Amino acid sequence: MRFIPLRIAAVAASLLLGFVGAQAQSQRVVPESKAQVQLSFAPVVRQTSNAVVNVYASRSERRQNAAMEEFFRRFFGEGGGQGVPPGRSQTSLGSGVIVDPTGLVITNNHVIENMNEVKVALADRREFEADIVLRDPRTDLAVLRLKNASNLQYIDFGDPESLQVGDLVLAIGNPFGVGQTVTQGIVSALARTQVGVTDYQFFIQTDAAINPGNSGGALIDMSGRLVGINTAIYSRSGGNIGIGFAIPSSMARVVLASAKGGSSHVVRPWLGARLQAVDGEIATSLGLERPTGVLITSVYDKGPAVEAGLKRGDAILAVDGQPVDNPDAFGYRFTLKGTQGQAPLTVLRGGKQTTIPVKLSPPPEIPPRDPVRVRSRSPLAGATLVNMSPAVAEEMQIDISDDGVVVADLDEQSVASSVGFQKGDQIVAVNGERLATTKDADRMLNRTGSYWEITINRGGRVFTTVLGR
């Protein structure tokens, strides 16, 4: 293997011009000053690298009954009821960023997903056990708290909104587990939304080398501030090819604020409307020069959208003056506004643009969740059911429905988990009787009989399965 040295990109203009002029003479250029020789990113790295950590997560599970797995795979498809072989330990390796001197660390949710033991190693080789304070699969972010740690070096948040394509950035993390590594590149693109990694897709794209293990690491600007959390790469081989993606630090701040506020989940503003992207045909019908914005396809009858006067067929073009090109961009911009005050939306209606203020508030829990833990001898034993509400629909990432109750939680070794039920499943009916509340579910699941006929809505797909006792 031959190692080829790479030239630092931040070469002084005089050096670059001298190199071009010297090519014709086949001569090398000698730096003209000590400053040119010492040009380096080292000061920025020294300022930030101690706040970038390695995250080690692990989990051990027992394998579920093989016959039960096969039985429910027939009803729930591939993956239903799958388990982990006996004694096998799952492990995960990634990176994280200390964002508070008390030991709060931001990393990617996929680094610690399904893990129950987390350790964090600092750049100076000290190790700490960590508690998982908050997981947010929708942004693929998580917050950890280091145990018995204080006065740690941390990185200040930067302003990703001020980034421009072409700006220099550094990526710091632990690629392939080789140890802390710094790579340099530029911002290749902004507001990437067609990546398919998170629900709130609005990524910074960079050509700074990002590889497996960099997940959760820091993307740093030239002021030594955190502008992104490195999250994903586009690659056919699994290695870096110069297309990496980072979650803007402005979204990380929203997640961190929820964790600091004591919430177990991220509190987001709720619009109370269903949106779709504006394609070419819709843009023409609206009189737009190009496809942009989001179209309101329906409004919830008691949400902020209808209260503000938004209607089906309105097109939202911007949030507080920031253009949105699709539902992902709208979700990102709207979430950053928080849950207090109002957000001015630029709306196109009848060929005319107008600004409509929308109240910022979290989705309501109406009706109350009224959780019921299923303890009866039924296929749902070990599941916790809650009533459907806008808050539950938002939290579980499901459409609001008037039918059924929702599986909010599952014991890992429960019957419900073993047979393939999942969080977010809507239980529409039991033995032909439709469910309206968790009390209905509790009553029906406590009945005796020789079989169970359960109707489930999973991601918009409704199906009925019959199970013997």
Segment 8-52, tens digit of pLDDT: 233 333 333 333 333 434 456 777 777 766 678 888 999 999 999
Among candidate residues 49, 92, 95, 215, the one labeled active-site is 215
Q: What is the largest CA-CA distance in the chain?
A: 93
* pLDDT score, position 362: 93
> What integer pLDDT is reported at residue 64 of this predicted model?
46
Task: Give the pair of three-digit tokens for residue 237.
Answer: 């081989």
Q: Is 214 annotated as a binding residue?
A: yes
Q: What residues have CB less than 8 Å from 256, skipping those under 6 apart? A: 99, 100, 104, 106, 143
Q: Which residue has the higher pLDDT, 194 or 121?
A: 121
Instruction: State what percent of residues in the chain have pLDDT above 90.
Output: 56
CA distance 65 to 73: 12
Structure tokens at 427: 């239980």
Report whether pLDDT(275) > 90.
yes
Residue 18 pLDDT:
36
Q: Which one, of 105, 82, 80, lies nearest residue 95 by Cα? A: 105
Say if residue 320 carries a ligand binding annotation.
Answer: no
Q: Which domains does the chain have, with CATH numbers?
A: 1-39 (no CATH), 41-267 (2.40.10.120), 273-359 (2.30.42.10), 372-468 (2.30.42.10)
Looking at residues 320-337, what average pLDDT do you find?
92
pTM here is 0.76
Residue 45 CA: distances (Å) to CA of 170, 180, 224, 232, 339? 8, 11, 8, 22, 36
Query: What band does 412 get if pLDDT is binned at 50, 70 and 90?
Result: confident
Residue with tokens 């959760």: 216
Q: Most confidently modeled of 11-20, 73-82, 113-122?
A: 113-122
Q: pLDDT band at 236, cuts 50/70/90?
A: low
Does the annotation mark 440 as catalytic? no
- pLDDT(3) > 50: no
Residue 409 annotated as catalytic: no
Q: What are the angstrom distances between the C-alpha of 13 and each of 36, 163, 325, 399? A: 10, 22, 37, 55
Task: Give the three-state DSSP class for 418.
Answer: helix
Encoding tokens for residue 128? 């700490």
Residue 14, pLDDT score: 34
What confidence score (pLDDT) does residue 294 get?
95
Q: Is residue 231 predicted with pLDDT exceeding 80?
A: yes
What is the Cβ-side half-sphere exposure of residue 156, based on CA atoms within 13 angstroms? Answer: 9
* pLDDT over 80 at 225, yes or no: yes
Which residue in the list 49, 95, 110, 136 is annotated as catalytic? 110
With H, G, I as helix, E, B as strand and everything else as coil, classify residue 16.
Answer: helix
Could you confirm whether 399 is annotated as catalytic? no
Q: Is the pLDDT at 73 greater than 90, yes or no?
A: no
Rounded to an integer, what distance in angstroms lies between the CA atom of residue 293 and that of residue 323?
7
Question: Is 89 annotated among the ligand-binding residues?
Answer: no
List the alpha helices (DSSP H) in 39-78: 42-48, 66-76
Secondary structure of residue 184 in the 3-state scheme? strand
CB neighbourhood size of 395 (10 A): 22
User: Any idea how long the chain is?
Assistant: 469
In the predicted model, what is the mean pLDDT of residues 220-227? 95
pLDDT greater than 90 at residue 283: yes
pLDDT in tens, 349-390: 999 999 999 999 999 999 999 999 999 888 999 999 999 999
Q: What's the CA angle centered on 138, arms 462 and 206, to 5 degrees?
A: 130
* Torsion angle (degrees, nearest 10) of CA 17, 18, 24, 26: -140
Report the candidate in 389, 378, 444 with the shortest Cα–Cα distance to residue 416.
Answer: 378
Angle at 134 between CA 133 and CA 140, to 5 degrees: 140
The answer to whether 314 is a known ligand-binding residue is: no
CA–CA gap between residue 303 and residue 305 (Å, rounded): 5
pLDDT of residue 59: 76
Average pLDDT, the chain: 83
Q: Which residue has the higher pLDDT, 69 or 311?
A: 311
Q: Is 140 annotated as a binding residue?
A: yes
The one catalytic residue in 49, 95, 140, 418 is 140
23: CB partners within 8 A, 6+ apart: none
* Cβ-defined contacts of 84-88 (< 8 Å, 24+): 86/62, 87/60, 88/60, 88/61, 88/63
Return the minimum-mean-pLDDT range out of 56-65, 222-231, 399-408: 56-65
Q: What's the whole-number mean pLDDT along residues 82-108?
A: 77
pLDDT at 251 over 50: yes
Q: Supply the pLDDT for residue 195.
A: 57
Rounded CA separation 392/408 (Å): 8
User: How are the residues of the chain apportioned to helix, strand and coil, as percentages rounded to the nearest 5?
Assistant: 20, 35, 45
More confident residue, 128 or 92: 128
